[in-house]
Structure 1
Amino acid sequence: MTTEAPIPASAKTGVGAPSRRDFFWLRSLVAGGIAGCCAKSTIAPLDRVKILLQAHNRHYKHLGVFSTLRAVPQKEGFLGLYKGNGAMMVRIFPYGAIQFTAFDRYRKEGGFQGFYRGLTPTIIGMAPYAGISFFTFGTLKSIGLSQAPGILGRPSSDNPNVLVLKTHVNLLCGGIAGAFAQTVSYPLDVARRRMQLGSILTEADKCVSMCKTLKYVYKVHGIRKGLYRGLTLNYIRCIPSQAVAFTTYELMRQVLHLN
């Protein structure tokens, strides 16, 4: 069991002197927001390419993913790969802030078992991908620190009484969490996108609900070419994104004294 680090003498003196608990939620929100922005910036070039290809941009519609990645810097300069990323940060910061803070809240309420109890409302209240991703990372982190603390963990820089995962282990666990979450939730994403396209598809009448859409895609296209079509590109996007997101958040927790 971990104990709170002693409050510095400077925090005990003076009227209204701030303690380490002051503004805890604000600091937690900042840590989550920065983590989300770093993660999204990591895969910004892939997101730009995906949008260009989905929109059948006249300059790139005849190219594939990797050839477009090479063509954009040649035509628009290196920053062309990050076009629109600033606006994306405005959306991602509050999203990441709330997402990571909620995850942290479930994990302090009862430790490992409390995190399992929070799985159901997390999945119901958030996108399946996010719920599974956080659940997997939390599970891997708990198992790693309990089974091999000397190999996988180290004392937190802001609280030596608390063990945290080493940076490279954080990256690995975050990547695994992203890959697993993507694998489990991808068929739902395929079905959702088909339903969103609505009347554009010739088989729109067969895609009126999630269950009917999943059954139709499986029956006509199978698993690999239907339910999991395009999964490889999402692996390329989600694995580094989640690895950076979780690692940045864990580092920011130490920088902002959240441990």
Structure 2
Amino acid sequence: MSTFGIRTENLEFVLKSFFAGGVAGMCSKTTVAPLDRIKILLQAHNNHYKHLGVFSGLKEIVDREHFLALYKGNYAQMVRIFPYAATQFTAFEVYKKYLGNKLGSGTHADKFLAGSSAGVTAVAFTYPLDTIRARLAFQVTGEHMYTGIVHTAVSIFKDEGGLRALYRGFVPTICGMIPYAGFSFYSFEKLKYVCMRYCPNVFCSKRDKNTGGLVLTIPGKLLCGGVAGAIAQSFSYPLDVTRRRMQLAMMNPETYKFSNSMLSTLRMIYHENGIVKGLYRGMSINYLRAIPMVAMSFATYEVMKQILDLDTGMKI
């Protein structure tokens, strides 16, 4: 049977996949929310924290503000991450099936292109919420410019140039998302295959409910996801720094210069701070947050797929 030209089983798959992806995103981001906040503060050279490291910065947040300040901006993150992760995982399943049919599932290109396309699709729909979350996370107690998600969105829209202001930093985000999402999904799928093929007794368990084949254990899922996250972040991090500097440029007169184009922002970051202290500033914390975040994201999604009987995939 079909509904509006869509197979009923595929519509059910999409809805379940959307829910599973959203839950995976919320779990992964909440896990690393404190590291996310200190990363933003360090990337954009916040006056109170720019001289600190990761752990001293986390301690300073608690001392200067309070414990819950570690999660500042996380509500906005949850509002953003559910549709973002849900769209990304669902789009990946659709693109993977389509490209697998067109290019052949044995090629390396199908999963990389599917991951990249899924990442770009998700970012295009949810980017303004990322800008809002970054603004809220960058604020320090006692120096607030914004009172919440709606106030932040309205202020940026009215005072900084409309919808274009909400999408400031979108180009470097897309440029960074292509290798990041591509390598994340490609690496996870390949690592999952390697574990099942060569280490089934270590990382896999038998399962008969759906496919009757092997599935990764929870530690196996976390390991594959963590390694995939580390690989992906290594390629895309400089563009993530550029995106943050552009998103936060209008919060301080000294950083207005970072509100123009991606290339000019990249050049200024490089000339002022170099590669290690500029384009890769905060990379250590990024590994600390990216590895558990991506590990939790993929592991939760895989578990949700098993719970919701999504192992068989879409039919195209």
Stretch moving more, 100-109 or 113-122: 113-122
Stretch moving more, 217-226 or 101-110: 217-226
1:105-152 Cα offsets, whole Å, 9 max, x none, are 344453842663242364366212122211111111122223333332
2:218–2:299 contact (8 Å) kept in structure 1:
yes
- Partner residue of 2:225 out of 171, 174, 183: 174
The answer to whether the aligner puts 1:253 opposite 2:311 as a matched pair is: no
Question: What secondary structure, in the 3-state scheme, does the structure 1 residue paired with 2:46 have?
Answer: coil
Amino acid corresponding to residue 88 of structure 2 in structure 1: Q
Stretch moving more, 238-247 or 216-225: 216-225
1:170–1:246 contact (8 Å) kept in structure 2:
yes
Stretch moving more, 94-103 or 108-117: 108-117
2:207–2:213 contact (8 Å) kept in structure 1:
yes
Residue 296 (structure 2) aligns with: 244
1:158–1:255 contact (8 Å) kept in structure 2:
no
Alignment of 1:49-198 (within 5 A): 49-52=38-41, 54=44, 56=46, 63-74=52-63, 76-109=65-98, 110=100, 112-113=105-106, 116-120=109-113, 122-123=115-116, 126=120, 127-128=177-178, 129-156=180-207, 158-159=209-210, 161-193=212-244, 197=249
Question: What secondary structure, in the 3-state scheme, does the structure 2 residue paired with 1:23 have?
Answer: helix
Segments of 5+ residues of structure 1 without an aligned counterpart are 1-18
Tell me how far 1:256 sits from its aligned partner. 1.2
The number of residues matched between the two structures is 238
Q: Structure 1 pair 164/148, CA: closer, same or farther in 2 (3 Å)?
A: same
Stretch moving more, 185-194 or 82-91: 185-194
2:18–2:87 contact (8 Å) kept in structure 1:
yes
1:107–1:115 contact (8 Å) kept in structure 2:
no
CA distance, structure 1, for counterparts of residue 61 and residue 274 of structure 2: 34
2:229–2:295 contact (8 Å) kept in structure 1:
yes
Amino acid corresponding to residue 248 of structure 1 in structure 2: T
CA distance, structure 2, for counterparts of residue 157 and residue 79 of structure 1: 44
CA distance, structure 1, for counterparts of residue 69 and residue 245 of structure 2: 29
Residue 283 (structure 2) aligns with: 231
Tell me how far 1:77 sits from its aligned partner. 4.5
Stretch moving more, 140-149 or 60-69: 60-69
1:164-211 Cα offsets, whole Å, 9 max, x none, are 21111111111111111010112333455566659956997xx9554x
| RMSD value, Cα | 3.6
Q: Structure 1 pair 156/246, CA: closer, same or farther in 2 (3 Å)?
A: farther
Q: Structure 1 pair 214/168, CA: closer, same or farther in 2 (3 Å)?
A: same
Amino acid corresponding to residue 203 of structure 2 in structure 1: L
CA distance, structure 1, for counterparts of residue 270 and residue 52 of structure 2: 28
Question: What secondary structure, in the 3-state scheme, does the structure 2 residue paired with 1:164 have?
Answer: strand
Q: Structure 1 pair 112/140, CA: closer, same or farther in 2 (3 Å)?
A: farther
Residue 3 (structure 1) aligns with: none
CA distance, structure 1, for counterparts of residue 111 and residue 59 of structure 2: 43
Stretch moving more, 61-70 or 228-237: 61-70
CA distance, structure 2, for counterparts of residue 215 and residue 29 of structure 1: 39
Question: What secondary structure, in the 3-state scheme, does the structure 1 residue paired with 2:213 have?
Answer: strand
CA distance, structure 2, for counterparts of residue 37 and residue 89 of structure 1: 6
CA distance, structure 2, for counterparts of residue 201 and residue 82 of structure 1: 25
Q: Structure 1 pair 107/143, CA: closer, same or farther in 2 (3 Å)?
A: farther
Q: Structure 1 pair 84/218, CA: closer, same or farther in 2 (3 Å)?
A: closer
Q: Structure 1 pair 23/168, CA: closer, same or farther in 2 (3 Å)?
A: same
Q: TM-score, normalised by structure 2?
A: 0.62
Q: Structure 1 pair 203/74, CA: closer, same or farther in 2 (3 Å)?
A: closer
CA distance, structure 1, for counterparts of residue 61 and residue 269 of structure 2: 33
Stretch moving more, 49-58 or 28-37: 49-58
Considering only CA atoms, is the larger Rg found in Structure 1 or Structure 2? 1
Percent sequence identity is 49
Tell me how far 1:231 sits from its aligned partner. 1.3
Amino acid corresponding to residue 40 of structure 1 in structure 2: K
CA distance, structure 2, for counterparts of residue 66 and residue 43 of structure 1: 13
